[in-house]
Amino acid sequence: MELVPILRQGDVLIISIMTALSDKDILHLQNRVLDKTCKSGVTGVVVDVSALDVIDSFSSKTIIDMAHAVRLLGAQTVVVGIQPEVALAMVLLGLTISDVPTALDLDLGIALLKEGRPHAAE
């Protein structure tokens, strides 16, 4: 069984990361997401990190890389649920996902995708 389920809701894939992942696991997740995005023809991917109390530099970079690859496949990615203390820690460590749209929760993330193709602030 996979550590992280990938669910489909309409034309959106929802990935809820419920526990810290090893580098190997997050790379495996990245490959699964790209494969499902390509095969399913979805227009959006939501990565829910609300259960995480830490997002390290490798995870952050892998999520960014995944979002860029998803964009090349014709879909958009929104990261949702970054906890306030995680956001502060990321800023203090110089980790940013500035070119990937974010939202407070799953509902707002899906709404962003439905409003149009979200793009991070330039």
What is the pLDDT at residue 95? 84
With left for phi above 0 and alpha for psi between -120 and 50, is residue 116 left, alpha or beta? left
Q: pLDDT tens, 78-93?
A: 999 999 999 999 899 8
pLDDT beyond 90 at 33: yes
CATH at 67: 3.30.750.24
Task: Tell whether 120 is covered by a domain.
Answer: no
- In angstroms, the Cα distances linking 65 to 23, 49, 92 are 14, 16, 21
Task: Tell whether 1 is covered by a domain.
Answer: no
Task: Tell whether 15 is covered by a domain.
Answer: yes
- Note whether 30 and 62 are within 8 A (CB): yes
pLDDT beyond 50 at 8: yes
What is the pLDDT at residue 1? 65
The mean pLDDT of 8-26, rounded to a whole number, is: 96
Domain that holds residue 97: 6-115
Residues 72 and 40: their CA atoms lie apart, in Å, by 15
For residues 2 and 91, the model is more confident at 91
What is the pLDDT at residue 94? 87
Task: Tell whether 22 is covered by a domain.
Answer: yes
Query: pTM of this prediction?
Result: 0.91
What is the pLDDT at residue 2? 82
